[in-house]
Amino acid sequence: MKKLQTKRLMSVLICGLALLLSSCTDQQDSPVPPANEDQQEELLQVADDFESRADFLAAAYKKTKPQTTKVWDATVDPDDFVLLFVREDQKKIYLIDDNGKQEIPESDWPTDYTEQPGELVRGSFLLVKFKGRNSCMILDCRQDTENKCKMMGKAFNPTMYTCDLLTLFYHESFHRYVQDGKNRWTNPKNTSGQAPQVFPVDYNSRVYRKLMVLSLVNVLYDANRKTESYSRAKYWLNKFNTEYASELERAKFTDIHEGTAEYFGRNVVHSVYHQYPVIQDYDGTNLASPLRTEAYMLSIAIDLAVRDGRKDEVLKSFVNGLQSPVEILLKDIPVPTNYQESADDADRNRIVAELDKLYGPESNIMKPLFDFIATHRSGKSTYLVTKTRNNAMIQDLGHYILTDNDLKDYQASLQAIVLLENIALEGCTFLEHPATDCVFVPVDANNLTLTNIKTVEPTPHKIEGVTINGTATLSDCTPSETVTVQNLPIDVKIGKDSFGNTIYFLQNN
CA 71 vs. chain centroid, Å, equals: 24
Contact 254, 160 (CB under 8 A): no
The half-sphere exposure of 168 on its side-chain side, counting CA atoms within 13 A, is 34
Q: Helix and strand tally (H, E) in the chain?
A: 15, 18
**For the chain, domain boundaries:** 2-329, 375-506
Q: What is the pLDDT of residue 78?
A: 58
Helix H or strand E segment including 68 = helix 68-71
Residue 72's φ and ψ, nearest 5 degrees, are: -140, 130
Distance CA(420)–CA(307), nearest Å, equals 45
Q: What is the pLDDT of residue 270?
A: 94
Closest to 16 (Cα-Cα) out of 414, 438, 326? 414
Helix H or strand E segment including 149 = helix 142-151
Digit-coded pLDDT (tens) for 419-474: 788 887 777 888 988 888 888 988 888 777 777 777 776 677 777 678 877 888 87
Question: What does DSSP assign to residue 75?
Answer: -
Least confident of 56-65, 367-376, 485-494: 485-494
Cis peptide, bond prior to residue 460, ω within 30 of zero? no
How long, in residues, is the chain?
Answer: 509
Q: What is the pLDDT of residue 346?
A: 96
Digit-coded pLDDT (tens) for 134-183: 899 999 988 878 877 776 677 889 999 999 999 999 999 898 888 887 66
pLDDT at 2 over 60: no
Distance CA(167)–CA(313), nearest Å, equals 24
Please give the average per-residue pLDDT across 44-50, as a whole number.
Answer: 91
CA angle centred on 502, ends 501 and 508, rounded to 5°: 125
Output the average pLDDT for the chain. Answer: 82
